[in-house]
């Protein structure tokens, strides 16, 4: 998809703070995080949404989510993880992605706006350390 921003990120045309990459997936920090460590899990192949992604790729996305959670707990001290997936209305980028949003004790999250966030660079360094 020539005009897809996430395909451009996957192809390396646009930079991203990537914390994991394999044959099927790319995982990066969201440019406008809801909380510290907000990640986007993308399939490398372009699927528009949940309703056209292949089930085996979806399985890899879920398996990755389970795999990364202990690392998020250890490195960011989060105490929960909220998954968000928008399809159609509410979906800004039409390339399937699963939001992994770390949650923290004591926080009262407003999914529309969240104060008290660290610099993305700092979070990236924590995760890659």
Is 76 a residue that touches ligand 5GP (CB under 6 A)? no
Q: Which does 31 bind (CB under 5 to 8 A by kind): ligand 5GP, Zn ion, none?
A: ligand 5GP
Q: For 33-71, b where at least 16 C-beta lie within 10 A, e where not — what string?
A: bbbbbbbbbbbeebbbeeeebeeebbebbeebbeebeee
Q: In whole angstroms, how close is the CB of 91 to ligand 5GP at the nearest point?
A: 4
Among 49, 65, 82, 91, binds ligand 5GP (CB under 6 A): 91
Site string for Zn ion, 4-33 (x = CB under 5 A): x-xx--------------------------
Q: In what order do the strands lie in the sheet with 39-43?
A: 18-21, 25-29, 39-43, 98-103, 80-84
Nearest CA-CA partner of 69 in 30, 101, 23: 101
Q: Tell me if 57 contacts Zn ion by CB under 5 A.
A: no
CB of 32 to ligand 5GP, least distance (A): 3
Please tell me whether residue 33 adopts helix, strand or coil conformation. coil
> Distance between CA atoms of 80 and 72, rounded to whole angstroms?
9
Check 38, 95, 97, 99 and give the catalytic one.
97
Q: Is 99 one of the annotated active-site residues of the chain? A: no
Binding site for ligand 5GP (CB under 6 A): 5, 14, 16, 28-32, 40, 86, 91-93
**Which residues participate in catalysis according to the annotation?**
97
């Amino acid at each position: 998809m020539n005009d897809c921003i996430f395909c451009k990120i996957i192809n390396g045309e646009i930079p991203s703070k990537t914390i994991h990459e394999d044959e099927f997936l790319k995982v990066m920090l969201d440019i406008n995080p809801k909380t510290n460590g907000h990640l986007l899990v993308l399939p490398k192949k372009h699927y528009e949404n949940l309703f056209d992604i292949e089930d085996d790729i979806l399985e890899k996305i879920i398996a990755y989510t389970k795999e990364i959670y202990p690392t998020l707990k250890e490195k960011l001290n989060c105490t929960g993880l909220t998954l968000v997936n928008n399809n159609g209305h509410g979906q800004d980028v039409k390339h399937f992605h699963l939001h992994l949003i770390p949650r923290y004790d004591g926080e009262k999250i407003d999914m529309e706006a969240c104060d008290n966030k660290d610099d993305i660079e700092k979070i990236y360094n924590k995760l890659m350390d």
